[in-house]
Structure 1
Amino acid sequence: MEPIVCGTDFTESSINAAFYANELAHWLDAKLVLFHATKSAGFPMLVPEQNGGDNGQEMSPGTEEIRMKLLDDLLHSLQNKDWAKSIPYEKRLQKASLTDMAQALVQEVRAGLLVLGNEGAQNLQEVLYYTTAANVIRASPCPILIVPPKVTFQPLHKIVFAIDLGDKPLLDTEFLTTLASLFKAEIIFLYVLPNLVEEGLESLKSSFVAETKSLLYKNVSFHIEFNPRIEEGISQYCRRKRANLLVMVSQLNDYTHHLIDEFYHQDQSFHTYLPILLLPDHRKLD
């Protein structure tokens, strides 16, 4: 398994994300690379930006040693557990912005996953547009896992993938199916329609089911939910199914634009209690 890269700014949320990444790395038998971008220090990873820029402060004299000690202490805490099998660790501290360091590090170590904490962002619009990590999310060549505050790791049994049926073919789902295979989880492809329209539904479902047959992973299902508010439909379905993970596409299309608009008006969306795996849409990056 490719390395897992996790950013921390030593806030409670980012430390929680590091512990989540640590658990996942042991399950995947993957190297964990913990990094701290000094220009983002003191600013939570997913806290809305100030003045429209990448929140950052230059290191003051002596601060680098303090931050390195914090990084060492966090790494020691991650290692100080009774694991059946050890994994390799690496730490990085660099005078750079979160965006620049994350992008460079992901490419350098050929990461299979980037993990970030979510603190302060009230809706998905802030996460994808107006946080210090927004540029990383939109440009990352690898999947990104956003971990809400106080959400602890648990084995994945139900994975809900919110999809847009008009956007085909399926994405590169290799990492997703690797996760699902590890836990023998069910992947539920969910499409939320704002109106109850019977005409064409069976054809739509049959077409998608035929497409999923190309997946190497077979424990998949497809569900159409009807709700005038797409976000609410996804949230209610995830709660009803007791989902452990929500999957979405990081690149924006008409469907995700509509979804993000709804998130903007929701105070307690599912991103506050459910980890979100954002898959890069390589079809739109090529």
Structure 2
Amino acid sequence: MTRILFPTDFSEHAREALRYALPIIRQMQAELILLHVYTISPSYAEAPAFALGEEVELQRDRTLARLQGEVTRIREKSPGQPVEILARLGGPVHEILEVAREERIDCIVMGTRGASGLREFLIGSNAARVIAQAPVPVLAIPPGNTFKPLREIFFATDYLDSDLQALGLVLRLARLFGARIRFVHVRRTDEPNAEAQLQAYEARVRDQLDYPHLTFQLLEAESVQQGLEHLSQQYPDAILAMCPQRRGLFERLFHRSHTQSMSQHASHPLLALPVPSA
């Protein structure tokens, strides 16, 4: 069974993200692992060992009780959903990554707190740090998203063959919902033979992917970020998939003058795919 990890801080942002994710989890017939990472007050740093131990146990019990309350909410919306709860002491990013490895997690789903733009989201949040290091795909869900059946999944590409090795979850979601996978390349003004490169990439993808609903598109824009934001306005219910760990695309995504202000917000769910090992 597919195992999906959902870290929660019990905030409304987290609950909103989980409401978005539950239809996907149900459709995948996946097991949900609900995690909360708790900390101990610095005032216990010099406390006797017995006092520290009592506080750790108290916080753990409180966390498990709150997690059980979340399970009750989940079962009200999704009866029969398999759910496991975990409480861990430590730093959120470290513990999320450790649990992902120890529990053989297939995908991490988490809410974000609404960074002011795609760039700020990817470089300025716990979700960003998880994405940068996670060994599995991460679906990051900004505030304000209400799930609707998937019809479009964008995949931002720089025509690398290794993209195809990262597409497993994208292809699975597309098949489950009958969604179109739209491969998107944002063309730089100085990029030669862009149409020929896209056609060659399309031929390679169609040769390797057995899926009928594929579209390939060039976007003209000053930056990758601007191009993807423009496309997202046309398809407000889509998911954006990409390999942000890949240095070249990451740098192109965020290459823009510091004098340009962010006019859009990172509103689409982002499916971050780990770069396949060489």
Sort the TM-score into its range (normalised by shorter chain). Answer: 0.7 to 0.9
Report the 3-state secondary structure (helix = DSSP H, G, I; strand = E; otherwise coil) of the residue aligned with 2:5. Answer: strand
Larger radius of gyration between Structure 1 and Structure 2: 2
Pairing 1:168–2:161 present: yes
How far is 1:73 from its partner? 1.2
- Whether the aligned pair in 1 keeps the contact of 2:117 and 2:265 (CA below 8 Å) is no
Question: How far has the Cα of 1:236 moved from its partner?
Answer: 1.2
* Partners of 1:125 and 1:261 within 8 A in 2: no
Aligned counterpart for 2:262 among listed residues 252, 264, 267: 267
Of residues 89, 93, 100 in structure 1, which corresponds to 2:94?
A: 100
* Cα 1:105–1:79 shift into 2, 3 Å: same
Does residue 115 in structure 1 map to residue 109 in structure 2? Answer: yes
- RMSD, aligned α-carbons: 2.5
Cα distance in 2 for partners of 1:40, 1:220 equals 50
Task: Check conservation: 2:118, 2:265, Cα contact below 8 A.
Answer: no
Query: 1:146–1:276: 8 Å Cα contact kept in structure 2?
Result: yes
Cα gap change, 1:205/1:120 in structure 2, threshold over 3 Å: closer, same or farther? closer
Aligned residue number for residue 18 of structure 2: 18
Q: Does 1:207 align with 2:170?
A: no
Aligned AA (1:200): N
Partner in structure 2 of residue 46 of structure 1: none
1:1-286 correspondence runs (5 A): 1-39=1-39, 62-81=58-77, 83=79, 86-165=80-159, 167-170=160-163, 171-195=165-189, 200-213=193-206, 214-262=208-256, 266-269=261-264, 271=266, 273-283=267-277, 286=278
In terms of fraction of residues, the more helix-rich structure is 2
- The count of aligned residue pairs is 262
Aligned-partner Cα distance in 1 for 2:183–2:11 = 34
Stretch deviating more after TM superposition (150-159 or 261-270): 261-270
Unpaired stretches in structure 1, ≥5 consecutive residues: 42-58
Q: Distance in 2 between matches of 1:266 and 1:242?
A: 22
Between 65-74 and 125-134, report the one with greater CA deviation: 125-134
The answer for the alignment partner of 1:47 in structure 2 is none
1:66 CA displacement: 3.2
Give the deviation of 1:277 after TM superposition.
0.3
More deviation, 185-194/234-243 = 234-243
Confirm or deny: 8 A CA contact 1:34 1:91 kept in the other structure. yes
CA contact (8 A) 1:9 1:40 kept: no
1:152 CA drift (Å): 1.8
Q: Call closer, same or farther: CA 1:89–1:60 in 2, change over 3 Å.
A: closer
Q: Which residue of 1 aligns with 2:49?
A: none
TM-score, L = length of structure 2: 0.85
Quick one: distance in 2 between partners of 1:39 and 1:247? Answer: 32
SS, match of residue 181 in structure 1: helix
Q: Provide Cα deviations, 1:14-55, integer angstroms capped at 9, x if missing partner.
A: 1212222322211110000000011399xxxxxxxxxxxxxx
What one-letter code is carried by the residue in structure 1 that aligns with 2:2? Answer: E
* 2:68 counterpart letter in structure 1: D
The 3 A distance-change label for structure 1 pair 75 and 82 is: closer
- Secondary structure of 1:111's counterpart equals coil
Q: 1:79 and 1:63 mapped to 2: Cα distance?
A: 24
Deviates more, 1:249-258 or 1:113-122: 249-258
TM-score, normalisation: structure 1: 0.82
